[in-house]
Structure 1
Amino acid sequence: MGVGQSPARGRVTYSRVVRAVLIVNPQATSTTAGGRDVLAHALASQVKLEVVETAYRGHGMAVARSAARDGLDLVVAHGGDGTVNEVVNGLLADADGDPAEIGHLPMLGVVPGGSANVFARALGISPDPVEATHQLLRAIEDDTSRQVGLGLADGHWFTFNAGMGWDADVVARVAKKRGKQTTSGLYMRAAIASHFRPPLGRPKLTVRVPGEDPQEVVTAFVSNTDPWSYLGERPVHLNKECSFDGGLGLFALNGLGVPTVFKALRRALSAKGNQKGKRVVRHDDLPIIRIDAAEPVNFQVDGDLVGQRTRVEFISVPNAVTVRV
């Protein structure tokens, strides 16, 4: 317990020490040793802090899982969306799909250090690490937070999106470029290459949602918030009504002809983000989505390739984590 003197009433007050761990991905686009030290020093002024730099894929998940099991109060992820995803999956590793079963769960803090930072931006967290650190410190001092719903797909938690087909093919191509900075240009080149030369062909996908007949598509995006991604500073909208407070959004295409893709991209980059058309299959606020593939297709969550699947269920889990914002 911490002990302090109340200047207003002249009495001794007690405050519980907040235990926290800062998980830093040193390979993330915008993380630096200097920035890590500034962040760690600032956090250590308010909490009892341990700092861990990730050394391998899955390290962040392991640290976050240990933090949850040890009853820590706060886990801060400093890195890109992949780092945040690892931390979230670590925090919920023992949830078995239901966070309420865990009991105490550390709060999540995010200081962006990647190239897109979709999850952080959707929460109103500044993409600038210094400003994001100030936001986090204010949230700790003011004791402010919000609950955030997540998606769960084939045992993998996702914070902002998941998908099967074209977008996962793009992620697979980018994953082969490890070591290169993951810029918007790299993703655009991968998207064009995957469109014209799909690595696994273009197997049919069958989408099933509550209250609707099954529909055949060739690619499917599942969103947990909107924007779904960014091209530089420009937001990309697929399900404009999607948010952390509702169910999942589905955006799928039953054809990938150039006119269809061009129209969808134009609407995605517009401020209205109103996706419609005879080639578009779109639903908002869904509790569950099932996608079956005629043959194995690539499957991604939060921009990381999971592998290949022929069936995936995507489930909306309300109030899965509490974020310090």
Structure 2
Amino acid sequence: MSVYLQNGEWHPGWYDTRATHGEFLRPAAVFRDWITADGSSGYPAQPGRYHLYVSLACPWAHRTLIVRALKRLEAVVSVSIVEPVMSEQGWCFSDTLPDHVNGFSFLHQLYTATQPDYSGRISVPVLWDKVRNRIVNNESSEIIRMLNGAFNQFGDASFDLCPEALRVEIDALNDFIYENINNGVYRCGFASTQASYENAFHKLFAALDQIEAWLANSRYLVGDQITEADWRLFTTLARFDAVYYSHFKCSRNRIEDFPHLSRYLRELYLVPGIASTVDIDHIKRHYFMSHPHINPTGIVPVGPRLKFCADAGAL
């Protein structure tokens, strides 16, 4: 199930791939304001002011939870988690997983609270300003940069996931990984023609082969230092064998079949604070129960056994 708003009114509806010859094209995020340490943007970094809305299933939202944990910002930026299975009105809250700030029932209410005539898709993550009562940003790549840099006086400033000296290299890696792997699995899974699927499939595995070869001689993507690029790749790798391999038909190889990628995935998972951000149950229930055009029965597979996180949900 998917949902979009047209002039502030919600509508159920899947992505229309007919106009793109069967290819899935991800729409750009709309809210792109920035939090800055000095407040020059109009959004000053302040503890307790900002709130993240996330899905534990979504790889884009997962990035923000990882950086929040690594920068030790749990007491600075609060979080609400949506239900893993989408409702008829898209991402939703419940008594078990409530909206702690606004008390909304559906994520799309955040969008219309910010812009009453909003038109577009409803996505996570959302970074919310509790003072101005509006969305600051809903682009994950920008949110993690803010969490990494703007809140250093309140969190752990001892490390930088995107050092200036490495930024050009990190940005190039991010672009390659996003186009071919992060979004590549979706371009496989949401393709509606054989040709579009096969094109995305071959690009995906060519990219994974390239990263595998790179990791044969490098501990991380940028030498011996974990950077933002590693975590942006991690969230896709963590979902691959459980979901993308079968549900999105990315079935040439599992990540476990790549010796260097699987070593790398396990090592990243074991970084302190990361395991608690990985919820295999939410991940599997979301994908297998929220895409009825791909999995009409809604049956969630019991397997597979995931070696990288044997303590994170077993089967």
Normalising to structure 2: TM-score of the pair?
A: 0.33
Normalising to structure 1: TM-score of the pair?
A: 0.32
Higher helix share: 2
Which structure has the bigger radius of gyration? 1
